[in-house]
Amino acid sequence: MNPTAILLLHCPDTTGIISEITRFITDNGGNIVDIDQFVDHIEGMFFMRIEWELDHFAIERDKIAEILDTLYAKRFNAKCNLYFSDIPPRMAIFVSKMGHCLYDLLARYQSGEWRVEIPCIISNHEDMRHVAEQFSIPYYVFPIEKDKSNVAQVEAAELELLRRERISFIVLARYMQIITDGLIAAYPNRIINIHHSFLPAFVGAKPYHQAWTRGVKIIGATSHYVTAELDAGPIIEQDVVRITHRDTPQSLVKKGRDLEKIVLARAVTQHIERRILTYDNKTVILN
Amino acid sequence: MNPTAILLLHCPDTTGIISEITRFITDNGGNIVDIDQFVDHIEGMFFMRIEWELDHFAIERDKIAEILDTLYAKRFNAKCNLYFSDIPPRMAIFVSKMGHCLYDLLARYQSGEWRVEIPCIISNHEDMRHVAEQFSIPYYVFPIEKDKSNVAQVEAAELELLRRERISFIVLARYMQIITDGLIAAYPNRIINIHHSFLPAFVGAKPYHQAWTRGVKIIGATSHYVTAELDAGPIIEQDVVRITHRDTPQSLVKKGRDLEKIVLARAVTQHIERRILTYDNKTVILN
Amino acid sequence: MNPTAILLLHCPDTTGIISEITRFITDNGGNIVDIDQFVDHIEGMFFMRIEWELDHFAIERDKIAEILDTLYAKRFNAKCNLYFSDIPPRMAIFVSKMGHCLYDLLARYQSGEWRVEIPCIISNHEDMRHVAEQFSIPYYVFPIEKDKSNVAQVEAAELELLRRERISFIVLARYMQIITDGLIAAYPNRIINIHHSFLPAFVGAKPYHQAWTRGVKIIGATSHYVTAELDAGPIIEQDVVRITHRDTPQSLVKKGRDLEKIVLARAVTQHIERRILTYDNKTVILN
Amino acid sequence: MNPTAILLLHCPDTTGIISEITRFITDNGGNIVDIDQFVDHIEGMFFMRIEWELDHFAIERDKIAEILDTLYAKRFNAKCNLYFSDIPPRMAIFVSKMGHCLYDLLARYQSGEWRVEIPCIISNHEDMRHVAEQFSIPYYVFPIEKDKSNVAQVEAAELELLRRERISFIVLARYMQIITDGLIAAYPNRIINIHHSFLPAFVGAKPYHQAWTRGVKIIGATSHYVTAELDAGPIIEQDVVRITHRDTPQSLVKKGRDLEKIVLARAVTQHIERRILTYDNKTVILN
């Protein structure tokens, strides 16, 4: 597969953006392999994802971003992000005591399903160390005191590790600690969480128990980017499974596990493939 | 099809109930065509639906309820409801200005999909009169004053009409008025509403707009029995449909319409077929 | 809503098409409200749907098609279809004895859900005349002899009626007769059928019975354009519903009805909104 | 959790079976925790799954089967299977070169999701040995010659291994060899396969490619028991995922992987929990 450049762009809607950008790429010998765009007429915003082959592209890689900025970003008041398909993102996994999402992520990684690197797994417990070792990935434990007195130090140590490993995004694979503001600020819209309910129903703790108590006929799972407000960040993916009166809180936990795995994996896939733009606490996911 | 008797029963869980009841029916010449049961081990409750052919059943129809009561209801502290398949329930439809659920209910009714009678449609507006007339069903309008000053009189008039027509249950086909306590008390767990969200998410007004604002990736609809608390009664049926960032509040309304129709129709089907027991603000739906 | 022009175009893939067309529209004062495109890299084909407002568009309506043809169709070897949003398509419904899809289509039509006109309903039986009359739509019966001896005359009479009513596309709402080659030739990719199975499983007669015999756990429905080969035309939409061992051929028919209605309605919506391109016996459905 | 006995029974339908069996269990001090039954009125067959606690049950474990046989099996011409919840089944996995189902099964096994033992993994290739080793499960390779000349010897060796390991059922985790008649005869309705299509559509090789060529809008996966006829055994579970014109055979393979994992895992769960009866090439799955 030829290496490609991927541009994610959004700006106030105006005429002519698509034709300008596609002409720029085409005129410089780039073969466009994918283009998807979306106009939010309510917010008056334009979103685009465009991917083109670099093989015969006349502009050198390290100049592209600068030229795009000069030619278009300023003119259209656009926010641009440029990626290259052969530079995979580096992903850190945070986990606590439940292994199902972790196993699923690592099996996908090891079998080559994703173009990603996973240099480290971070936890507040030792429980999942054997899984990390099975997959030969370094496992770091940062225990958090019950009184939360060491949260600031833990955050500092984690940030230091993440920087050292040049981590580009974080996946919370059922990590049961509140993510600190410093971490969120360092990785804005780059921390993916899986919440075990169909948000915004059943925010917070024990959502399966809440669902059982309310007597719903369908349960869900939601992956979203982490923001300062609990379970309220931009939603990336949701899915549901039908339940009946026969289900107990325990059987919901069991059914939910499969849902959590698949919903988290889909969100991670979209993120790795650079398909997600965020705006106004929502996601726009382009082909 | 032979006429059948249908018994819905629930009581505190104990041993031997199934074998007692099935033996009673079998010993009296009843051929059981369906039996489904459920034990809620958390609440310690037993639920059963049993349906048997009346053809060679030794006990006369009008004695069955009394005998069941004498033999089992008291002994097991059970709540029993007995129905006969050839005595269809009588259903009233309440509607306001939106016709999609109304059309769907009436088309099912007219094409013989349900064993039900629909002697009247009640509204607070004239808008849907032409639909009622198309299907030759009497249409009654009880306008409600903007200041709600006549709510008590309207309720009284409606109750009078419902009694006169011997209505056994009510379907709110997107009826946009709060149901009064008197009506709820007269029809406990016998008023079926369709709410256009995946409850408990987006209770109250404008749920599609709420869903769009939150940026969910799936929307839903919920049919439930009406209780005093708004949108909080026992859930009968839910379903969902996937949406994307391309959807607007308007397109959600459009997509939601099909969902509302199907979810409401499924709930009405279960109710007509006497499959729903309610307990602890939940439904148990037996085969 | 301002009237818009909608262009559906497909041609062998080459560079520059999008930028050419979007520039043409923009340069002539057209405000693009929707654009979606797709490249089939396997077949080497490019597909595009583009919709723009006509209000300030410099080119007169009746000149647009010609200019597009001159400028682009020949140059790119493209097949173009141009539509105007304020000229609704005219749809004929064919029906036999089952009314559920017919009711659903007519209720959507009457409640203004679609920008379409329905000047006639055609049948081989009298059974659904009362439904047509309920909705005040002319109903024409063309009985077909058991020995099929009058098929040619019926086709001729139907074609004459369809021409007289300027019908642009046909919907087979569970029409239980083979569509003749002459009709297919007159309406290529413009006859929408609903088949009551998840094609290509269970082609032909009695698919629910076939599904029950095979013991599947999910049944489906498929809407497709009619071609000469039975149930083998381009698929527009499919959906499924879960079943269990408890289902009988009869209950599958019942569950399938709701599926057929929704799958057919979705296909008709896409067709009315001019979102479907066909190529190589498949559909490309653009936003 | 108390150990339970699970009885799966089917026989020609007659009156009184449920009451007889439940009375037998109750009279002997057994507490019934689950009962589900089903009457196939078309075939005239009765199916039942009943589970009861052994703690205060008056009859010794090793006598139960015999007594059931004496009292009921002969009388009702019933086929009975008795299991004990604390004697987990022993499962062999067959795999070829694709690891996604294998990883999923082993992760569930290792994290204690199932009451099962997995004493061996069997393959015709070395490729998945590292996964087996990661999870510390013995891995046996039986290479099959291209000309299939050694199939009989391989079958014999496999049967010998399966017997030695007291394997009760086999899971084919995308095993790409035809299962031999001898193996099928030794494990009737105890070999679970995952086929990567929505059967009966796309039987045989390359189903994703077949699906792409046909232009379907939904793809599926099917788990079934293996019988002599290819992909035609009793279906246990199916599920589907929506696709679009944008999908290629490669992306279908990718989307299908998640479907295969989940559909296979659900079938294995039902089998392990002894919920599946087979009759007339179909499955009856009881709660």
- For residue C216, the chain D residue with the least C-alpha distance is D235
**Which helix (H) or strand (E) element contains residue D101?**
helix D100-110
Query: Taking 80 as the threshold, does the pLDDT of residue C15 lie above it?
Result: no
Query: Taking 80 as the threshold, does the pLDDT of residue C197 lie above it?
Result: yes
Query: Taking 90 as the threshold, does the pLDDT of residue D20 lie above it?
Result: no
For C2-12, what is the mean pLDDT?
96
Token couple for D100 = 């996604």
For D104-109, what is the mean pLDDT?
97
Contact B38 A235 (CB under 8 A): no
**pLDDT reported for residue A32:** 86
Query: Taking 90 as the threshold, does the pLDDT of residue C88 lie above it?
Result: yes
pLDDT tier at C1, thresholds 50, 70, 90: confident
Q: What is the pTM of this model?
A: 0.95
Among chain C, residues having any CB pair with chain A shorter than 8 Å are 15-16, 18-19, 22-23, 26, 31-37, 39, 41, 242
pLDDT tier at C33, thresholds 50, 70, 90: confident
Tens of pLDDT, residue by residue over D107-138, are 999 999 999 999 999 999 999 999 999 999 99
pLDDT tier at B278, thresholds 50, 70, 90: very high
Q: Which residues of chain A does C242 touch, with a Cβ-Cβ cutoff of 8 Å?
A: 242
Q: Which residues of chain C does D215 touch, with a Cβ-Cβ cutoff of 8 Å?
A: 234-235, 281-283
**pLDDT reported for residue A80:** 95
Query: Taking 80 as the threshold, does the pLDDT of residue D1 lie above it?
Result: no
pLDDT tier at C212, thresholds 50, 70, 90: very high
Contact A257 D99 (CB under 8 A): no
Q: Mind giving me the DSSP string for B4-34? A: EEEEEEEEE--TTHHHHHHHHHHHTT-EEEE
Contact A107 D99 (CB under 8 A): yes
Q: Are D82 and D61 in contact (CB under 8 A)?
A: no
Contact B135 C134 (CB under 8 A): yes
**pLDDT reported for residue B173:** 98
- Give dist(CA B164, CA B159) in Å, integer: 8
Lowest mean pLDDT among B229-238, C172-181, D26-35: D26-35
pLDDT tier at D210, thresholds 50, 70, 90: very high
For C58-85, what is the mean pLDDT?
94
- Phi and psi angles of residue A197, each rounded to the nearest 5 degrees, phi first: -155, 170
For B213-226, what is the mean pLDDT?
97
Tens of pLDDT, residue by residue over D149-190, are 999 999 999 999 999 999 999 999 999 988 999 999 999 999
Q: Mind giving me the DSSP string for D147-174? A: T-TTHHHHHHHHHHHHHHTT--EEEESS
Instruction: Round the average pLDDT of chain B to a whole number and report it.
Output: 95
Contact D218 C239 (CB under 8 A): yes
Closest CA to D261 of C57, B61, A100: A100
**pLDDT reported for residue B178:** 87
Specify the residue for token string 């034990």. B39
Instruction: Round the average pLDDT of chain D to a whole number and report it.
Output: 95
Catalytic: C231? yes
Tens of pLDDT, residue by residue over B23-48, are 899 899 998 888 888 989 899 999 99
Q: Which of B13, B231, B239, B247 is catalytic?
A: B231
Q: End-to-end CA distance of chain A, in Å?
A: 18
**pLDDT reported for residue C20:** 86
Among chain B, residues having any CB pair with chain A shorter than 8 Å are 38, 40-42, 198-202, 214-218, 220, 234-240, 244-246, 248, 281-285
**pLDDT reported for residue D35:** 86
Q: Which residue has the higher pLDDT, C15 or B3?
A: B3
Q: Which of C40, C231, C239, C280 is catalytic?
A: C231
For C214-226, what is the mean pLDDT?
97
Lowest mean pLDDT among A143-147, A193-197, C30-34, C273-277: C30-34
Name the β-bridge partners of D49. D8, D36
Per-residue pLDDT of chain A (287 residues; tens, 9 = 90+): 789 999 999 999 887 788 789 889 989 999 888 888 898 989 999 999 999 999 999 999 999 999 999 989 999 999 999 999 999 999 999 999 999 999 999 999 999 999 999 999 999 999 999 999 999 999 999 999 999 999 999 999 999 999 999 999 999 999 998 899 999 999 999 999 999 999 999 998 999 999 999 999 999 999 999 999 989 999 999 999 999 999 999 999 999 999 999 999 999 999 999 999 999 999 999 98
Contact B15 D34 (CB under 8 A): no
Q: Which residues of chain D does C218 touch, with a Cβ-Cβ cutoff of 8 Å?
A: 198, 220, 238-240
Q: Which residues of chain D does C285 touch, with a Cβ-Cβ cutoff of 8 Å?
A: 244-245
Q: Are A22 and A32 in contact (CB under 8 A)?
A: yes
